[in-house]
Amino acid sequence: MVETIEKIISSLTNIIESLGPLAGLFVIVLESIIPILPLAAIIALNNIVFGPFFGFLISWVGTIIGCLLSFFAFRLGFSNKLYRRTKTDGKTQKFMKYITKVPASRLTLLIAIPFTPAFAVNIAAGLSKISFKKYFISILIGKISIVYFWGYIGTSLIESVKNPIILIRIAIMVGIAYSLSLFIQKYLEMKGVK
């Protein structure tokens, strides 16, 4: 089992390494648009192949580009069609109003939490009347912690194949991040956003 996982990791790192930094960037952009791809694994592979600094930088720039593509797809492409469909849905309208009026600091915090569904935030921001400047600054800052968090988790998971103690550290870190996201969700619900 361990050998199989090591072979898969080795194959993936060889592929990304042979294609270069643009491949790592492209896969991260793709993950921002297609959220079922494993972000932690992709960031970890970038960190392994390009080193912690350049791997982080490639992943951070890629996720920002992907978020911007999603934002503009919904701001410019789908906004009228979806707005007509969702204008009768009270929850959707409430969330859109919240995103429009949320202070940049709170939006940055929301984006920085690892378990916040980034794709949903990108769609809501694109459909809302939030200023591009506020959204852009929030993702620039908020995505730093996401990329660092998932890079650490992903790299540690790969290392845990050889050292199971790392799994305990990962479980604690994920538990803390998840608890924080639940706390913030309850806070937002108290403020009237569900």
Write the single-letter amino acid at 112.
Answer: A
Per-residue pLDDT at 88: 59
Per-residue pLDDT at 135: 93
Cα dihedral 145, 148, 150, 156 in deg (nearest 10): -140
Q: Could you count the other beta carbons within 10 Å of the beta carbon of residue 45? A: 27
Taking alpha carbons only, the member of 52, 30, 6 closest to residue 159 is 6
Domain total of the chain? 1
Dist CA 26 CA 121 (whole Å): 21
pTM score, whole prediction: 0.76
10-residue mean pLDDT series, the chain (194 residues): 69 82 90 82 88 94 94 81 62 75 84 84 87 91 89 75 72 78 74 61
Dist CA 61 CA 110 (whole Å): 19
- Residue 155, judged by CB atoms within 10 A of its CB (0-12, 13-18, 19+), counts as buried
Per-residue pLDDT at 89: 63
Size of the chain in residues: 194
Per-residue pLDDT at 79: 61
Longest CA span, the chain = 54
Query: What domain range is 7 assigned to?
Result: 2-190
Q: Could you count the other beta carbons within 10 Å of the beta carbon of residue 10? A: 11
Judge whether 55 and 49 are in contact, CB under 8 Å. yes
Which token pair is 117? 């569904």
Residue written as token pair 């604690």: 172
Judge whether 177 and 114 are in contact, CB under 8 Å. yes
